[in-house]
Amino acid sequence: MERQIRYQREADLEWAHKFTKHPNCERLLLCIQCGTCSGTCPLSVYMDLTPRQVMAMVREGFRDDVLRSKTIWLCASCYACSVECPQNIKITDIMYRLKREAIQSNLYPKRFPIPVLAQEFCELVRRRGRNSEFWVVFRMAFRSNPFVLLTMARTGWDLWRTGRLSLRMERIQRVNELQYISAASKEVD
């Protein structure tokens, strides 16, 4: 059985210190652990860690546990927590930063569709300038769990029948310009 509790020596306080230096993450230190974020979050019932726990764990430096969790990926960016937070912590922006770090350090849950979707989406937009919903979903399913396509077939058919699903690959004319920008911004990152 896997050990559930964490010891202080596993925490990376230096990482936590660095994390709170990032723009929009400074106010994390002011968190009073009231749980308003978890209470307002429409998705917290599906999360393995609630947003309040994420805040506490980031602050204490439990990096790998946070970056491996599904919570950061389930965040739908509705900003309800940021609006309600009595300490004005920008929780959604903190979630975004955690997502980026999870991808960079390759700790995201590999078969979980949302991080896969994010990467496929970006890849498609980088190459073509626009997102074509059908192809993003198709590639996401292919990389995470191809069988999910079977369960989506009915929905897909209904969307197709009502003209809401297009198989066309959207593309813009000045895609070179966009790729140039992507390359330049990669250096900044």
Q: CB-wise, 33 or 104, nearer to other proteins?
A: 104
Which DSSP state fits 110? T
Q: CB-wise, 49 or 125, nearer to other proteins?
A: 125
CB of 85 to other proteins, least distance (A): 18
Q: CB-wise, 6 or 100, nearer to other proteins?
A: 100
Residue in this structure with the two tokens 């029948």, named with its chain if needed: 161
CB of 28 to other proteins, least distance (A): 17
Computed on alpha carbons and rounded to an integer, the radius of gyration of the chain in Å comes to 19
- The whole-angstrom distance between residue 161's C-alpha and the CA centroid of its chain comes to 32
CB of 52 to other proteins, least distance (A): 21
- The residues that touch other proteins, with contacts defined as CB under 8 A, are 76-77, 96-97, 99-100, 103, 115, 117-119, 121-122, 125, 129-134, 159, 162-166, 170, 172-174, 177-178, 181-182, 184-186, 188-189
The answer to whether 79 and 92 are in contact (CB under 8 A) is yes
CB of 33 to other proteins, least distance (A): 25
Q: CB-wise, 13 or 181, nearer to other proteins?
A: 181
Q: Which of these, 101, 102, 171, lies nearest to 131 by C-alpha position?
A: 171
- DSSP-derived secondary structure for 68-110: H-SHHHH-----HHHHH-TT---HHHHHHHHHHHHHHTT-S-T
